[in-house]
Amino acid sequence: MRLSQIRDFLAVAETGSIRAAARSLGLTQPALTKSLRQLEAELGAVLITRSVRGVVPTALGQAFLARARSIDGDLRRAREEIAQLRGSREGSLSVGASTAPAIGVLPSAVVKLRQSWPEARIRVSDTSFPGVLADLREGRFDLAIAPKLGPEPVPQGEFAVELLFRNEVVIAARKGHPKARARSIRELSGAEWLRSGPPGGPSIVLEDAYQGIGLSAPSYHVQCESFLFLPGIVAISDIVAIVPWQMLEQPQIRGRLVRISVREKLKPIEINLLTRAGVPLTPIAKDFVAILRSLTRHRE
């Protein structure tokens, strides 16, 4: 198996077209088709098929696609690592981040990294657990900062997990909400709750608190997995939600949403640094991790 064959397969899978892939690679269509057929012969599997949507990976092709992306990402990192070890300040870093660190830590970390890596390309993307694991596995992220929520464990041996900090969550409501002065979750038992984030997201803290005082878990009629839209929904309704405390400190939100302070303690959420176990970080990624540790050392 040649690296050029993996490159060719990725181009076809990502463009959905032999013609477009050949054009992007500077190859003729027959040459690209030959490369794909040789790869399929070596693997003993059909990787792509034609459909009304163009050229798409088969089920076996999808499985190979994840490996191919990981190999391609590692090759890019290897080239960048060698260049960086020789003194280059160029390269790239791709980071996945959940809402709390994206609001509270990432801005400062990115700015600080830019001071020592002014020529580097830095990409930060929204992510959440457990979907982040696939992104790390396939090499779309060099590292991720995400909460560990719900019962699903991180696969042992495949990923390295490091606790960065524990983040407080709060109950948010619109300014002037009729229950804004509530001092117990019991007083909010009849409120309409929004499930914030994906299943197992921050709202799991609320469900644990309900259970702790003997109440049935709240029912949700609205689920919002976008923390971009969540404040707007809460600000113009009587819906209440569990959110990272940093959200209420944002200039565009401050004054529109208020914190409902209840006597029950809401369990903080662990924010973890996730990397692939056994895969060395590039120099720029190592520097970024050092910055994250420095910024979060005293947050607990």
**For the CA atoms of the chain, what is the radius of gyration?**
23
Q: Where are the beta strands (DSSP E) in 158-298?
A: 159-167, 169-174, 193-196, 220-224, 240-244, 257-260, 269-276
163 close to 299: Cβ distance less than 8 angstroms: no
Assign 3-state DSSP to the chain and report helix, strand, coil percentages, each to 5: 40, 20, 35
Residue linked to tokens 């895969």:
279
- Number of domain units in the chain: 3
Shared domain for 200 and 143, answered yes or no, is no
First to last CA, the chain: 49
Domain that holds residue 126: 91-165+276-296
Total residues found in the chain within this entry = 300
Position 89 scores a pLDDT of 86
Is 11 within 8 Å of 52 (Cβ atoms)?
A: no
- 233 and 284 in a single domain? The answer is no
pLDDT for 126: 84
Distance from C-alpha of 262 to C-alpha of 240, rounded to nearest angstrom: 13
Residues 10 and 66 both lie in one domain:
yes
Note whether 98 and 241 are same-domain residues. Answer: no
Per-block mean pLDDT, blocks of 10 residues, the chain (300 long): 89 91 91 92 91 85 88 85 86 88 87 94 85 85 83 74 91 95 92 82 85 88 87 95 90 92 91 90 94 83
